[in-house]
Amino acid sequence: MTARISYTLADVATRAGVSEITVSRVLRNKASVAEKTRERVLAVVREMGYVPNRVAGTLASSGSNLVGVVLPSLSNIVFPDVLRGIHAALAPSGYQPVVGVTDYDQEIEEQLVASLLSWQPAAMILSGLHHTSYTVEMLRRAGVRIAELMDIDATPLDIAVGMSHHRAGIDTARYLHGRGYRRFGYVGHDRSRDLRAARRYEGLRQGLAEAGLSLEGEIAAAAPSSTSAGRELLGQLLAAHRDLDVVVFSNDDMAVGGAFHCFAAGIRLRDELALFGFNGLDIGQALPQPLSTLRSHRFLIGRTAAEMILEPRGADARPVIRDTGYDIIEGETA
Amino acid sequence: MTARISYTLADVATRAGVSEITVSRVLRNKASVAEKTRERVLAVVREMGYVPNRVAGTLASSGSNLVGVVLPSLSNIVFPDVLRGIHAALAPSGYQPVVGVTDYDQEIEEQLVASLLSWQPAAMILSGLHHTSYTVEMLRRAGVRIAELMDIDATPLDIAVGMSHHRAGIDTARYLHGRGYRRFGYVGHDRSRDLRAARRYEGLRQGLAEAGLSLEGEIAAAAPSSTSAGRELLGQLLAAHRDLDVVVFSNDDMAVGGAFHCFAAGIRLRDELALFGFNGLDIGQALPQPLSTLRSHRFLIGRTAAEMILEPRGADARPVIRDTGYDIIEGETA
DNA sequence: CTGTTAGCGCCTTCAG
DNA sequence: CTGAAGGCGCTAACAG
């Protein structure tokens, strides 16, 4: 490996017998350049393997093609799905995501936002609508488009793309009540960090209350959601509450674990115990009995957000909310 | 939202009554600055909400804190796991991953590498050991550390971190042969794109051949791996080959789908049909009967690679191979 | 301990 | 259609 030898515009210009700015124009398809000149320059560029230095370009033109992306986690497939959507929409326009992961910690988010903003990104994409006040301050100052994903239950700084988790909780209660279930249990994960799971939980309780019902048993791990946690917790919950007829899980990972518990314990899904999840993951739908759940549109959320931030902001500074909704998947477990 | 008002070092310097370079030194904990000066400067920085412009910093110092990361896919949990490992090792040192996704296409990889290199990254992380010649050319020229992940079956440009997929295939054959299985089936996914799956497949066949055996039945989808594909394909395979006693899957996603097929068809795992996967995903281990499989160390691969690229390259330009190995998980399905 | 000088590589502006 | 001059915001190198 040789030492870093990178050519500059000047090198290319010299070899092509033109000025730097002409090379620059050719590479950016700017202004008018004679066809002959353009061809000569391009030939030299290819021959030298010249790669423009975007750092310099960004400094000179004060505009980068980077988009800061701050996600809470990469541990289950949900946020990678969102990131795929973001990438799908950004790639064709030549934008690059710069990713940070907060582990659901707002202090880490604050540092990441500072760090990402220091790269003068063209836009920022975050998760959720709650941030430290300094984070909000920095984002406001940055003067770029900002998308806040997943959640639309509060007012965004600029753009919110996602669904109402509160309503999802209510609709879950209504749906299951409508199917005749009356004795509800709940299996959850760490709600203090996953605020959207908390909101669904509240919605669920509200929906049950409207029907004159309440949770007869509930259990939650302090840990993040996982299939194994769902499996164990359902076992514990059923040990304490034998008469439940349906259990709602904080998400599909947990619910699939619950289904595994039932397989192992010989509990017939739906006939003996109904299960309901959240997210609509492939794994739940591939179960012998497809999981009854609520499908969030994660890829769509990412793609829509990325499309929206690339559009210039209008003069009127009104926040925009884009509801990507959700679908109830009937499945065969509830 | 106000227009982009970003303060510069000069603004801070003026307000603090010092020169730019002093502010710069304070912010970078460089050289010696009087404690009093330092405090005053920091107070002003916080008060103004000043965020340094790293684009300018990078241009001036010709060294960024960005690390280019090129991954083939984000569709299953494998590469997000790798990315988590990368992030875990980079974050404490203040490095930021810039992510690109190739969808297993070397042409796209080439474009991404060019685009990422234009940001003068401190290092590059790619997947696999096969790239277009122009990609290799650009990487060589860049003069930064380069890690190639997942695979160690060929010589890397600089650093390879991963495992031998060929040996994994052989060991799978030996292990299952040792357990007494003789009638092998295989369920795979698109091998033309996923070269590592192809290498495991070849290893499996070689291992079987050494034992005087061969695959009695096999089936592969042209699609990427998924639980649903595994479920369907196993059904098809068994319809054509009723006498198999073990089926090896291209990975755990597929194998879990296979397990689901068995649940639904009333086939007793291991007693009637053994299943074997690859990756050691949580989902497989949470099955009522934990999946027998081979654990790859994805998080470790990412973390190790990120640690290694942060170390300066020695004078001797010898490629380094770090074998993160794999473990056989006995499980209860084979 | 602090400041001055000169760029980093490119793009904007203004002339030809 | 092409070029020259100047500066983006920061930091290395060298004074004091």
The closest nt to B33, taking CA to C1', is C1
Task: Note the CA–C1' distance, B296 to C3, in angstroms.
Answer: 56
Chain B residues whose CB is inside 8 A of the A56 CB are: 59
Chain A residues whose CB is inside 8 A of the B76 CB are: 77
pLDDT of residue A30: 76
pTM, 2 dp: 0.90
Q: Is B184 helix (H, G, I), strand (E, B) or coil?
A: strand
Q: Is A186 helix (H, G, I), strand (E, B) or coil?
A: strand
Distance, CA of A293 to chain centre = 19
Q: Looking at the partner chain, which of B3, B100, B118 has a beta carbon nearest the beta carbon of A143?
A: B3
Looking from the CA of B257 toward its CB, the CA atoms found within 13 Å total 27
Distance CA A157, CA A136 (A): 8
Q: Taking Cα atoms as reference points, which of A271, A2, A329, A306 lies closest to residue A159?
A: A306
Q: Taking Cα atoms as reference points, which of B136, B166, B172, B169 lies closest to residue B153?
A: B166
Distance CA B263, CA B29 (A): 61
- What are the residues whose beta carbons fall under 8 Å from the beta carbon of B216, sequence distance 6 or more? B183, B184, B185, B241, B243, B244
DSSP one-letter code for A273: B
Which numeric CATH code is attached to A165-296? Answer: 3.40.50.2300
- The answer to whether A97 contacts B96, with C-beta atoms less than 8 Å apart, is no
Residues B246 and B274: beta-carbon distance below 8 Å: yes
Q: Is B287 helix (H, G, I), strand (E, B) or coil?
A: coil
pLDDT of residue A34: 83
* Residue from B117, B267, B283 whose CB has the most chain A CBs within 10 Å, to mutate: B283
Which residues partner with B79 through β-bridges? Answer: none
Q: Is the dihedral of CA B40, B46, B47, B48 positive or negative?
A: positive
Q: Looking at the partner chain, which of A87, A114, A143 has a beta carbon nearest the beta carbon of B5?
A: A143
pLDDT of residue A3: 43
User: Which of the residues in chain A have pLDDT under 50?
Assistant: 1-4
Distance CA B248, CA B274 (A): 8
Taking the Cβ of residue B290 and every Cβ of chain A, the question of whether any pair is shorter than 8 Å is answered with: no
Give the containing element (helix H, strand E) for B69: strand B66-71
Six-digit token pair at B254?
A: 């597929």
pLDDT of residue B2: 38
pLDDT of residue A5: 60
DSSP one-letter code for B276: E
DSSP one-letter code for A92: G
Per-residue pLDDT of chain B (334 residues; tens, 9 = 90+): 334 567 899 999 999 999 899 999 999 887 778 888 898 999 999 888 888 999 999 999 868 899 999 999 998 899 999 999 999 999 998 899 999 999 999 999 999 999 999 999 999 999 999 999 989 988 988 889 999 999 999 999 999 999 999 999 999 999 999 999 999 999 999 988 889 999 999 999 999 999 999 999 999 999 999 999 999 999 999 999 999 999 999 999 999 999 999 999 999 999 999 999 999 999 999 899 999 999 999 999 999 999 999 988 876 778 999 999 999 999 999 9
- The answer to whether B5 contacts A64, with C-beta atoms less than 8 Å apart, is no
Q: What residue spans of A91-226 are helical by DSSP H?
A: 106-117, 133-142, 165-178, 195-210
Chain B residues whose CB is inside 8 A of the A4 CB are: 141-144
- What are the residues whose beta carbons fall under 8 Å from the beta carbon of A87, sequence distance 6 or more? A97, A302, A306, B74, B99, B100, B101
Chain A residues whose CB is inside 8 A of the B1 CB are: 140, 143, 157-158, 313, 317
| Strand D bases contacted by the protein (CB, 7 Å) | 1-13
Q: What residue spans of B67-164 are helical by DSSP H?
A: 78-90, 106-117, 133-142
Q: Do domains B1-50 and B165-296 have the same CATH topology?
A: no
Chain A residues whose CB is inside 8 A of the B141 CB are: 2, 4-6, 49, 51
Q: Looking at the partner chain, which of B3, B141, B228 has a beta carbon nearest the beta carbon of A5?
A: B141
Distance CA B242, CA B254 (A): 19
Give the containing element (helix H, strand E) for B96: strand B96-101
pLDDT of residue A2: 37
| Strand C bases contacted by the protein (CB, 7 Å) | 1-5, 7-13
Q: Taking Cα atoms as reference points, which of A100, A76, A104 lies closest to residue A222?
A: A104
Rounded to the nearest 10°, the torsion over CA A303, A306, A312, A313 is: 90
Q: Distance (Å) from the C-alpha of residue B68 to the closest C-alpha of chain A?
A: 9
Number of H helices, E strands in chain B: 13, 12
Q: Among residues 136-195 of chain B, which lie with CB inside 8 Å of chain A?
A: 137-138, 140-144, 157-158
Distance, CA of B138 to chain centre = 21
DSSP one-letter code for B189: -
Q: Convert the pLDDT of each residue in A301-332 to its tens digit.
A: 999 999 999 988 877 778 999 999 999 999 99
Distance CA A128, CA A250 (A): 17
Q: Which residues touch strand C (CB under 7 A)?
A: A 6, 8-10, 20-21, 24, 27-28, 30, 52-53, 56-57, 59-61; B 18-22, 25, 31-34, 36-38, 56, 59-60, 62
pLDDT of residue A212: 96
Q: Looking at the partner chain, which of B77, B119, B226 has a beta carbon nearest the beta carbon of A54?
A: B119
**Domain B1-50: top CATH class:** mainly alpha
Task: Note the CA–C1' distance, A80 to C7, in angstroms.
Answer: 42
Domain residue ranges of chain A, discontinuous segments joined by +: 1-50, 165-296
Q: Which residues touch strand D (CB under 7 A)?
A: A 18-19, 21-22, 25, 31-34, 36-37, 56, 59-60, 62; B 6, 8-10, 20-21, 24, 27-28, 30, 52-53, 56-57, 59-61
Q: Looking at the partner chain, which of B1, B115, B263 has a beta carbon nearest the beta carbon of A158?
A: B1
Taking the Cβ of residue B283 and every Cβ of chain A, the question of whether any pair is shorter than 8 Å is answered with: yes
Looking from the CA of B22 toward its CB, the CA atoms found within 13 Å total 20
Strands (E), A277-314: 293-296
- What are the residues whose beta carbons fall under 8 Å from the beta carbon of B253, sequence distance 6 or more? B76, B225, B226, B227, B230, B279, B281
Instruction: Say how many C-beta atoms besides its own lie within 10 A of residue A8's C-beta.
Output: 14
pLDDT of residue B328: 97
